[in-house]
Structures are given as structure tokens and as C-alpha cells.
Structure 1
Amino acid sequence: MSPETPAELTAPTLLRSRSFLAFWTGEGVSQLGVQLGQLALPVLAVSLLGAAEMELGVLNAAAMAAFLIVGLPAGAWVDRWLKRRTMIRADLARMVAMACVPVLWWAGVLQMWHLYVVAAVVGVATVFFDVAYQSYIPLLVHRSQIADANGKLEATAQVARMGGPALGGFLLALVSAPVLFAAESAGYLVSALCLTRVHDAEMLPERREDSSLWVEIREGGAFVARHPLIRRIVASTAIGNLFSSVAYVLLPLVILRELNLGAAGFGVMLSIGSVGGLVGAVAAPRLGARIGEGPLLPIGLMVGGAGGVLLPLALVAGPGPWAPVLLSVGEFSMSFGVIVYNVMQVSMRQRICPPRLLGRMNASIRCVVWGVMPIGSLLGGWLGERIGLVPTLWIGIVGGLVAILPVALGPFFRLRTLPDAVQD
């Protein structure tokens, strides 16, 4: 590990940084609104609009397609823009899009294609927000605090994921699903307002006169392709996301239709999974110090893959007491393993990438690892209609186990500490 600079040794703790606290607060409120909306979307589609397997696949694909279509240029653009301003504009765009759902519903004209459009617009804004967000942390805190900042932000996100679905399930017993979209819209507004309270020293980067969008995109992709550890992480994450999308696109049908657990049960299952994510986010730095940062990457994926096996078993068990138990343990284990893996690998990426390439590096990775998700969602919806829910779930889970191999067969088990030196 590289020695700390004098600036890092005298840096205030994150809890004393007003800018980080404002950023943290906004993200926490925004995440709660996101969780309310993410619960309401499949419930609205399945329960109110009668969506079938393929329609759910299209809906999920619409939400994720932006990472494949605009992911790469978004990284180059974000590196040209002020990242905090980009996040504010993305929040406002998502706020307006989500507010359209309750308006259309109250007008009595809401249809599935409206949800496709809203999901696509939110997806595009999310691409820009996420690329700027992951590129902004190294600009907001000192390099020695990056892992701590990511852990705190991820822990807060998991608290929202834990409480949001359960709260949403309770609210759905009192109000209709479209009302929760108003809550998500408000969450994005709060996030934007909090971002206006954040102060940083970011300046617009100087543009080379001979640079072009394609050259800048290729530069970010080349950094990812050249780094042997990042290549393996991208391969494992992409394979895992592809097959998890095949399985997870059908989860609302499993819980709402096949097991008849209702919206409240759906919310509880998602919340239990988020408890595992919260534990993983809090434990990741400690586990990294105890067993090593490198080994924690394949171990996290192994734990998550083992938990996934319980999902199709829950459907095989059918309605009764065993199905919720299997779903709960599976969701907890998967979230725990995946979050531990994510905290470690994202922190490493942020430390080793030159600041001028952060946006393009993150966008290149997101384009691959998130770009496969609409493909997986469409495949999952198609397979669900053709061969049934249980076989499709097994295809998704077994494929997720295969995703462990690129990381497990790499050098990570031998790396007590992941590299943190900037490589240019």
C-alpha cells in the first residue's frame, strides 16, 4: 500500500466533512425513494396491468438498455463535464419521468408502453448519474478515504433497500402502486437539492484540440482492457449480471403469482435481501483486513452464488412455510456476497485509475457489465414463457455460478492487498 501524503494524514474524518455529509444524506433519501418505486413498478405491471413474462422482460430491458446504447459515450461526456452538475441534472430528469406515472394513472390512460418509455428515460439519466457518481467519490474525499466512503454510501443504500421495500409493501396495502412513484420522484428531488450543498474543487478539464469523442472512448476502454485484474472482474461481473437478469426478471411473478405472497410479501423478501447487503457493506472493510482484499472477491461471489440456488428450490417447494424461508435465506446470502465483492472491486478501480480517465473507465465497465442485462431480461422473459419458471430460474442460477470462474482462477487468492497506485 502506498504511503499516505501529508494532505491525507491531516484530512478531516468523513463524518466532519459537510460536503460528504450533504452528499451522503441526499443519496440516502434518494435511495429510499428508488426502493419505493422499484417495488411499485413490477407490482403495478403485474397486478394492475396484467403483465406476463415477456412484458416484464421488455420492461426490465427498457430500463437497462441505456447502459448498452449510450454507456460508452456517456463516459467520455462525463469526463468533459462537471460531475456534480451532471448528477443534479440526471436527478431532475428522473424526477420528471417518475412523476409522469401517477399523472397518467390518475388520468386513467396508463398503459404498459408508458412504463417502457418511463423506464427508458430513467435508464438514460441513470447511466449519466452512475458514471458521474462513481467518478466523483475520488474528487470528494481523499484517496485514503475512498473505501470508507464507499462502505458508508453502500451501507446507507442497503438500509434504504432494507426498509424501502417493507415500507412500500405496507403502503401498498393502503394506497395504489402508482402513488409510490410520487415518492420516488420526491427522492430524486431531495438528492438534487442536497447535491447543491456539496462543495468541491473540480474544474472543467482542458480539452485537447485534436481529441475526438471516439478517441476519448477508446482511451477509457484501453485502460480497462490492459489491466489484468480489471479484465477478470469485468468478465465475472458481466457473466453474473447476464444470468442473474435471466432469473430475476421472473422474481415478481414467482412471489406475486406462483407463491401468492402479495405485494407485502414481495417487499419483505427484498428487504431481507437488503439486510444481507447491509451486513456485507459494513463487514467488507473488516473482512478485507482479516482474510485479505484479494481473496474476498472470489469468496464474495461464491457466497452469492450459493444463495442463488435457493430461489428455484423455493418455487419447487410451492406455497407454504418453506418457500418464504428459502427465499429469505437465498436473498440474504446473495446480497451479502455481491455487496462484499462490489465494495472491494469498485474501491480498487477508483484508486488505480487516473482521475482524467475515471468517467471513461467506469462507463466502459458499465457498458459491458450492465449492457448484458437487457439481453438477459429479454432472454428470461422469453424462456419463462417457453419452458416455464423453474427451468428458467435454474438456467440463471447455474450461469451465475459459472461467473465465479474468471475471478476464482485469477491471482486474487494470492493478493493480500489489492493495488492502489494510480496507473497511467
Structure 2
Amino acid sequence: MPSSSPSAARSSVWRDADFRRLWAGQSASQLGEHTTLVVLPLVAVLTLHAGAGQLGVLRAVGQAPILLLSLLAGAWVDRWRARTVMVLTDAARAMVLGAAAVAGLLGLLGLPALFVVAFTVGALSVLFDVAYQASLVRLVGRDQLLQGNSALEGSRSAAQIGGPALGGALVSALAAPVAVASGAFFFAVSFVSLRRIRRAESVPHHHERAPRIREGLRFVAGHALLRAVCLASAAFQFSFAATMTVYLLFLPRELHLPGATIGLALAATGPGALLGSVLAARLPGRYGHGVVLVSAAVLGNGALLWVPALHGSSAVTVPALLAVNFVFGTFGQLVNVTVMSVRQAVTPDGMQGRAAATITFAGMGLTPLGSLVGGVLAQEWGLRTGLLVAAAGMMLSPAVMAASPLVRLGRKLPV
């Protein structure tokens, strides 16, 4: 277990070699994930000429594992070593994307193959994401959680810079197999880095009673703060999934932007999220966690309401998109890091995996339905109106937080 001595409390997580290895591996894995999240839909739209309904189905298929596997993933992570789960999922994702790239070279990478790849990578990503959230608690002291989360979420933000830009450029300039293979490379790098972590994890022995899924459900449902996090996350993720489905059609077909420019616009979220990670290490302790959560959600989610109003040449629309995505990235990341620190602070060590998985299940379980709804909105109401309706739905999240105990959280988190 991490030391809780005063000297350990004052030390930086960056002095810990194992934390640096976790950070490097998680950074590479997130870069691979964010590259793939953009590459697969853009390959479908720009190379395979998928329609709105087909794109909605593709995104829903990739998100379905969140609904199907999140709760099981939490129980597994609480039973096994998080590092083992991360290493195995990295290796598997690298192999799946490598096989997809080979299929593309052979002319076999059609929409059915993309559906299979999206589902498989999505399932493995669910396991990895639950495991890396639980691994931090097993690696550093609770007094270092905000600093550690800020660093890890900052790396995720860096992935949001490189992933969309790289993915969009590769899909636009090179063959689809090369774009798909880029994700496999980053997952392989993550595999190597995480394998080098030396510190042993404290996990239950095989003869002990296995963690039960319903205990995680009961714990989260019975905790007022975590229950509010679930509701707010569900409102956000459903609406965001619908928004992104329409968004990925709106940019090339309504604003007539090429793949590389779309990647650049999406990548602007990353620099904003880096700033949000820095702010998350300072603002909650100065102004209170509740005030920061609600204010940041209003500003970040509200920024996307400006996108449907964009018209005109790319000389006008691209700078506006960069500004909107930067603002969304900044305040969205501020919410993400703060919520994760709240969840980790109020959750016992033996419940971390199941609590994270339960919140993921409740918050992101509706994303497949959101993606399908986004496809229907785009097809039936048109891209501009559909995007406006989907983006407006994202404002439900700060409304839920403002009506919950989350808004009353002060500078110090309860433990």
C-alpha cells in the first residue's frame, strides 16, 4: 500500500518511477483509443460512404460494450491486478487493429468488418479504462489522488490533441489500412510501458470471496454523491453521443470540411483539456468542488450550442470550431477530473473497481442509444436542427448537478 506519512504526502507523484510508467502507458493507450475513435467513423463516412443511419449504428456498436461489460469489468478489476488487465487489453487491441489493417490491404475492410472491430476494441477499452482508474488508488496515497488524476487526465487530453489530428490526417492523406494500423502501434507502446511497473498490487487471494457486482450497485445507489454523479453522467453521455454522431456528419457534409481539417478541429479539444487538467488541480480547492463542477459543466456543454449556427467559408468556420472545441475541452476536463477525485475519495479501496464500473455503466450505458438517436435526428430533422437539439440536451447534466448534493461540496472532499 502507498505510504501515508507526512513526507509521502508532500512528495510529488512524478518522483515515483512506477507512476511515471503508469502515466506513459496510459498516455499511449489513450492516444491509440482516441485515434481509433476518430479513424473508424471517418473511414466509414469518407472512404465507405456510410449514411447517417449506418454511422449511428457503427458508433452504437462500438459503445455497446459499455452497457454489456462495465459491471463485470468492475468485479474483475477488484478481484485481479489492474496492471494485468491493462497489459492484456493493450495486447489484444493491438492485434485486432493490426488484423483490421491487413484486412484493409486485402480489400476486405467493409462496414461489417468495421462493426466487428469497433465492438471488439470497445469491449477491451471498457476493461482498460476501469482498470486504470482503479490502478491509481493502488499506486499512490489518497492525498495524491488529485495530483495523480490531473496528470493522467492531462495525458488523456494530450491524446485528444494527437489522436483526432493524426487520425483525420491519415484517413484524408493515406490509405484506410494505414490509418487503422496507427492505433495498434500506440497500444503496443502502452503494453511495453505498463509491463515495466514493478510495485506489487494488493488484491484479494483466490480463496477469498469474490467481489460481487450487486455490492457495487448497492454502494453507489446508496451514496448521495455517487448517485448524483451517475444521473448527471447519464444525461451528459446520452446527449453527447447523439451530438457527436450528428457532428461527424455536419462537419464534412454541411460545412464541407476535408478529413484533415476535421481532425484539426476535433484536436482543439485537447489543448483545452490540458488547461482543464491544470485548473482541476487548483480551482476546486480554492472555490469549492460543487461550484466548480456546475459552473464548468454549464460553460463547457453550452459551448457546443454555437456549432449549429456556423455558416460560410472554412476561413470563418474553422477558427470558430477551434474556439468552441477548446472551450468544451477546458471545462469538460475540469468536470472529469473533479468528478473522478470525488468518486475516489468517498469510495473504499476494495470497492474502487466496482464503483468506477457502476458509474461507467450508469453514465455511459445509454451512449449506444444516444448514437442511434443522433443518427435518426440527422436523417429525419436535418443536420443543423438535429445538432442543435442534441447539443441542447447536454445542458441537462449541469441541471442535475445543481439540484443534487454535489453543488454543496466545499474545498475539502469528504472521506
Q: Report the TM-score range of the alignment, normalised by the length of the smaller protein.
A: over 0.9
Is 2:61–2:118's contact at 8 Å kept on the other side of the alignment?
yes
1:50-61 matched pairs, under 5 angstroms: 50-61=49-60
2-structure distance, mates of 1:320, 1:70: 41
- Which residue among 345, 356, 361 is the counterpart of 1:351? 345
Partner residue, 1:178: 177
Once the two structures are TM-superposed, the CA of residue 172 in structure 1 deviates from its matched residue by 4.3
2:279 to 283, 289, 306: 283
2:259 aligned residue: 263
Q: What's the counterpart of residue 197 of structure 2?
A: 198
Counterpart-to-counterpart distance in 2, 1:10 and 1:46:
50
Q: Which runs of 5+ in 2 are unaligned?
A: none
Aligned equivalents of 1:324, 1:174: Cα separation in 2 = 19
Change (3 A) 1:10 1:265: closer
Aligned pairs for 1:90-169 (under 5 A) are 90-169=89-168
Higher deviation after alignment, 119-128 or 38-47:
38-47
1:325 and 2:319 matched: yes
Identity %, equivalent residues: 34
**Distance (Å, rounded) in 2 between the aligned partners of 1:136 and 1:8:** 22
TM-score normalised per structure 2: 0.94
Structure 1 CA distance, aligned partners of 2:205 and 2:24? Answer: 32
Q: By how many angstroms is 1:334 displaced?
A: 1.6
Does the CA-based 8 Å contact 1:234-1:365 persist in structure 2? yes
Gap change, CA 1:335 and 1:416, over 3 Å in 2: same
Amino acid aligned to 1:120: F
Q: Distance in 2 between matches of 1:395 and 1:266?
A: 21
Q: Where does residue 226 of structure 2 map in the other structure?
A: 230
Q: Deviations over 1:219-269 (max 9, x none)?
A: 101111111111112111110110111111122211122211101111110
Amino acid at match of 1:24: W
1:41 deviation in Å?
A: 1.5
**Which of 408, 414, 417 is equivalent to 2:411?**
417
- Describe the shift of the 1:227–1:43 C-alpha distance in structure 2 as closer, same or farther (beyond 3 A): same
**Cα distance, 1:318 vs structure 2:** 4.5
**What are the ranges of 5 or more consecutive residues in structure 1 without an aligned counterpart?**
none
**Structure 2 counterpart of 1:299, one-letter code:** S
For the 8 Å contact 1:44–1:178, the answer to whether it is kept is no
Assess if the C-alpha contact under 8 Å between 1:309 and 1:330 holds in 2. Answer: no
Could you say which residue in structure 2 is the equivalent of 1:336? 330
Q: Is this contact kept in 1: 2:237–2:367, CA < 8 A?
A: yes
Amino acid at match of 1:30: S
Aligned residue number for residue 390 of structure 2: 396
Give the match for residue 61 of structure 2: 62
Residues 255 and 265 of structure 1 are in contact (CA less than 8 Å); yes or no, is this contact kept in structure 2? no
Residue by residue over 1:95-133, the C-alpha shift from the partner in whole angstroms, topping out at 9 and shown as x without a partner, is 111112211110012110101111101111111111111
- Counterpart residue number, 2:373: 379
**Counterpart among 221, 225, 228 of residue 217 in structure 2:** 221
Please report the TM-score for the alignment, with normalisation by the length of structure 1: 0.92
CA distance in 2, matches of 1:96, 1:392: 37
Match of 2:268 in 1: 272
Going from structure 1 to structure 2, the CA distance change for 1:228 and 1:77 (only over 3 Å counts) comes to same
The one-character-per-residue Cα deviations of 1:107-161 (angstroms, maximum 9, x if unpaired) are 0121101011111011111111111111111101111111101101111221221
d(CA) in 2 for partners of 1:26, 1:247: 30
Distance 1:126 1:18, change over 3 A: same
Q: Aligned pair 1:249/2:248, yes or no?
A: no
Equivalent pairs, count? 413
Residue 87 of structure 1 corresponds to which residue in structure 2?
A: 86
Deviation at 1:18, TM superposition (A): 0.9
Partners in 1 of 2:76 and 2:103 — Cα distance?
Answer: 33
Q: CA RMSD in A?
A: 1.9
**d(CA) in 2 for partners of 1:145, 1:247:** 35
Contact 1:43 1:177 in 2 (8 A): no
* Structure 1 residue 370: Cα displacement: 1.1
Instruction: State whether residues 42 and 171 of structure 2, in contact with CA within 8 Å, keep that contact through their aligned partners in structure 1.
Output: no
**Which stretch shifts more, 158-167 or 176-185?**
158-167
In 1, are the aligned partners of 2:9 and 2:144 still within 8 Å (CA)?
Answer: no
Larger CA deviation: 228-237 vs 23-32: 23-32
SS at match of 1:67: helix
8 Å Cα contact 2:82-2:132 kept in structure 1: yes
